[in-house]
Amino acid sequence: MEQVNQNQSQNQNRLASFRRRRGYSQLRVARLLGHKSHGALSSYERGRVLPTLITALKLEIVLRTPVAFLFPNVYETLRNGIRAEEDRLAGMGQQDLFDHSPRQL
């Protein structure tokens, strides 16, 4: 589990709503994930902790929903950061990307 250093509202997710749509209890999903209790799942659903990649993929399988749909705010934050970096790099030009000479500040 990855502790969340970001704002909890940013880590809100749709785990509980997709779990309820499937008619699953927290304990059932927790057991399908290989957990003995529902404590970790509760922390995921409340946005206190982000699951590991393996657990997120298991959630995708159990809930039959892509991870990006389960964690839309996390996905959007990551996508926006990557798109911004792509734009920044596109403005540099190919030569600048491979220029390793020391830069003057």
User: Which has the closest alpha carbon to 10: 58, 81, 73?
Assistant: 73
pLDDT tens for 64-79 read 999 999 999 999 999 9
Does 4 score more than 50 pLDDT? Answer: no
pLDDT tens for 23-74 read 999 999 999 999 999 999 999 999 999 999 999 999 999 999 999 999 999 9
9-28 average pLDDT score = 93
Is residue 92 classed exposed, middle or buried when 0-12, 13-18 and 19+ CB atoms within 10 A define those classes? exposed
The structure's pTM equals: 0.78
pLDDT of residue 65: 98
Amino acid letter, residue 100: H
- Give residue limits of the domains in the chain: 2-92
Is residue 28 classed exposed, middle or buried when 0-12, 13-18 and 19+ CB atoms within 10 A define those classes? middle
pLDDT of residue 7: 58
| CATH of range 2-92; options 1.10.260.40, 3.40.50.300, 2.30.110.10, 3.20.20.70 | 1.10.260.40
